[in-house]
A and B are shown apart, each in its own frame.
Chain A
Amino acid sequence: MFETNLDSVAQQSAFRHIHPGTKLVLALGSLIICLVSPSPLVPLISGIVLSLVLIIAGRVTPRLYGELLLGPALFTMMSVIILLFMLGGGEVLLRFNPVPWINLTITTEAVKESTLVLFRVFGCSVSLFFIALTTPLTDLFNGMKRFGIPIEIIDLMMIVYRYIFIIHDQAVEIWHAQVMRLGYSRPVEAIRSFAMLCGMLFISSWVAGEDLIRSMDCRCYDGVFPSLDISEPVRMRSLIPVLLYLSGLFGILLALTTRVVVFS
């Protein structure tokens, strides 16, 4: 159900009618700046600003946004904890021995690097979520065509995109039918039920594939998959704030980098 929600959020986003190119410039621009920044401050600022834009102007509910961030946050926290103990350099801040033969230390350099990783992941995740929550995949297909991705691959992607939802609905129906009859009630039963679900899904996908060919033949399929020939124009009203924001972020990055050089 989650991917349906994500797609629905993008469809209903307040930024839905902004040209996808403008949104890609913003997301990819901030992603690159976050990646190259040697200071955690730039990704932190980028993450907070884009989050506020998404929640306040983009009408993404804070709850959904929080749930979305929770996934990368948990994963990153685990990585950061390990990095804290693995990286070295600088002064030792904390040293302890959980068992006599293991010596764990946290150093100033490790804290610095871990913080940078944490905020980088935050800034980059928010940049990617910005695209996911404001631009439906259907808008990106056209852009892919312009970027010269082979039309056969785009056609396949469009069919796959359409069928994800059909097969997902079928999976949910089969799962409900199993749960109603006490499938998944015991561990062994769960394995058997899941295997059955996969088998049924394979068969129904096969039938859906045959129907797809029949449906395409019914409408004189001759190798053409039409593209969505309606795209919003690039508007200065949205492009200029994006460029200003990216310039500002880049300015902060430059200022911080210069300061780092001066101080070293």
Chain B
Amino acid sequence: MALLEVSDLKTHFFTREGVVRAVDGISFSVERGRTLGIVGESGCGKSVTALSIMGLIPKPPAKIVGGSVLFEGRELTTLPEKELEDLRGREIAMIFQDPMTSLNPTLKIGTQITETIRRHYDVSTQDARKKAIELLEEVRIPRAVDRLDDYPHRFSGGMRQRVMIAIALSCDPKLLIADEPTTALDVTVQASVLDLLDDLRREHDMAMIIITHDMGVVAEAADDILVMYAGQVVEQAPVLELFDHPEHPYTEALLGALPQIEGEGIRQGRLTAIPGRPPDLINPPPACRFAPRCPYASANDACAEHMPELREIRSGHFVRSAHPASERAGARRPTGVGA
């Protein structure tokens, strides 16, 4: 049994303008000890997916209108709030993009860590404090004992994200969801935070979901990758398979749109831009959601009439497109791949 199993999850926002189908029938699973990368551009539904798993979507206007989230076989979407609260932090922890706003500026760092520990475990203040020091040391914050009595504003962005990670680890969760954990950080700080997360995941034997817009971040951090577009999963595969043989025209386009740091003719060359922009999720295209921007769609009317199914094109590699790379005219079938 997978640690987390999401099936056909639908989270919609009921707004005055209409129903926004932010997450529209997505399925995936996370195995123990593995890292799943969810990648996509703004508005594709990747963060709403995470918040839906955690039961943290704002209700109203949002509502989970269908599907299920099974964590160790327990259904989370119907769990009473009280039980969800016990589970959050203890079994599933989450860190957010912006370490500046996720910490309370009026409370000392130590207070914020010990409060989580004492919420879930019956320990003395003294023991909780001892544990907090260990945690700060574990996330490699220098002079942990002294830093416990500092307020968040005394910490840099990278150090604050480390504090958030310490809080997330305080109850030894089985699953850590990291939503754009390094987006607000400078590139050298990002590297050290990603290295830290990698080490901690091994040491604590956690599973992790890392949500990001950055193909480079998933390339380094994830075992499996889910590409999202307009509220749906458009491609899913193990990391090497996805980067070696991207199938969906959107995944291919995303990779082509990325500027490279090494190679020939970079300065003279042009990037492969994707024309247009993602669809409005109140009135998404009736069939394939990528069709209006897809370079292969015009050749085939099917794209405008039928929503393509997410199908397994090779073992462990799923794609939702009528025109995957390996089925186009003149395509070379990748060889020597398998699960």
Do A and B truly interact? no
